[in-house]
Each structure stands twice: as C-alpha cells, then as structure tokens.
Amino acid sequence: MDGTLHRMSVPVLAERCKRELDNYRRGEPSNDQYGLELFSRAVIQRDTLAWEAIQQSFNTLVRHWMRSHPLRDIARRYDSEENFVAQAFSRFWQAAADQQIAFQTMGAAMNYLRMSLHGTIVDTLRKYASARLTALSENDEVGELCAEDQYDTNELWQVICNLLPDKRERRVAYLLYHCGLKPREIMRFCSQEFDDVQEIYRIRRNLIERLRTNTDYLRWHIA
C-alpha cells in the first residue's frame, strides 16, 4: 500500500482524505493513511500542491474549532474568522515544516493544527492588551513580564531560544511562550510527545529557573 500511496496524485489523495474525514465525523471507521501521506508531502517534502490540498481539506474543520473556541467572541472583536483560519494554517506550516515533523497519526496532525489555531488566537488577544490573558505561564516572573508587555512574540521567542541549549527545553518553551499554551493544554495537544503532564511541569520548572538566572539578559533585550 505504501508504494501505491506514493504514486497517487495529490488530487486523488485529497479526495480520499476528504472521504475518510467525512467517515470520521460520522463516527464510522476511517483510514488516516491518505491524510498522513498528504501531510508528509506538504511538511517533509514541502510540496505546495499537497499543502494547498490540506488547507482545502481541513478548512471546514478549523472553522469549526474557531467557532467552538472559548475565546472566539473576544477574538472576533479584533479580526475576522477567515483571517484566524488562514493564520492558523500559516502558523502550522511554519512550525511543522521548520521542525520537519513526521506525524504518525492523523490525530497528532490535527492536534498540532488545532494548537496552531489556539496560538494564533492567543497571540492576537495578547497583541490587543484589552483581554488580559495569562496564557504564557502562571505566577512566574518571566511569564508576568511577557504577558504585560506588548512585545513581539516572535522576537521574544528568539531571545528565549538563545538561552536554552537543550532541545527538549526549547520545545516546551516554544509551546509555552510562542504558542501560548499551558502545561495541560500541551499534554492535550501533544500527548504523543510527552509521558504525562508532570514531565511538562518538570521541564517547565527547569527552563523557568534557567530564564530567571538570566533575567537581566531578558530585560535588556526586550526593554
């Protein structure tokens, strides 16, 4: 079947992926191999046609997530649903392609896409400081500093990344500070990457301690 999948054209893969998504939504048995092949071509091979097919195939699903998001009403004050959906796909593409993520299940891919939408919403609300979100980290100096300052999150991520040589710490820092997720949200969206939420809290404590020891460096770069 792998050989057959690799020979399928993108339009055929997209049609079969859509069919399996319909089965999934109806609660019927579904096969995720077509969707995974699309994601592999888009993310690993950087196939633009495959990426366009993913956007078309999952657009309705992302719109559903947007409409059911607990912060949807506040978010819509600042941008349109269409823009949030488009930015979620863009965020997913940049993160997944840059990190060359090979998704093993459709559930993992969809969780990552949903996480991208959540991060997009949080970043927008953080940009407009009227919604005093504390999605970075709870009750720590670095989190308070980032949450209260209207600071470009992409620049902040680069500053933090420079202080974290450990790859796993950078991953958790990315999810916390760039995507705006809390530890339990990370476990929900990225359960395939971590054993349990305690592991995330443990890594979080370590990286926060590392950041705290470099508070002057952080303040200097975001002043």
Tell me: the pLDDT tens digits for 117-127? Answer: 998 988 887 77
The better pLDDT of the pair 198, 137 is held by: 198
This prediction's pTM: 0.58
Of the candidate ranges 5-9, 24-28, 150-154, the one whose mean pLDDT is the lowest: 150-154
Is 153 a residue whose pLDDT tops 70? Answer: no
The string of pLDDT tens digits covering residues 171-217 is: 888 777 666 678 888 888 778 788 899 999 998 888 878 777 766 65
CA distance 50 to 40: 9
**DSSP assignment of 111-169:** HHHHHHHHHHHHHHHHHSTTS----S-SS-HHHHHHHHS---HHHHHHHHHHT--SHHH
Q: CB-hemisphere CA count at 13 Å for 207?
A: 27
Residues in the chain: 223
- Kindly report the CA angle at 109 between 29 and 128, in degrees rounded to 5? 130
pLDDT-based confidence at 128, cuts 50/70/90? Answer: low
Is 146 a residue whose pLDDT tops 80? Answer: no
Residue 179 pLDDT: 67
The better pLDDT of the pair 75, 143 is held by: 75
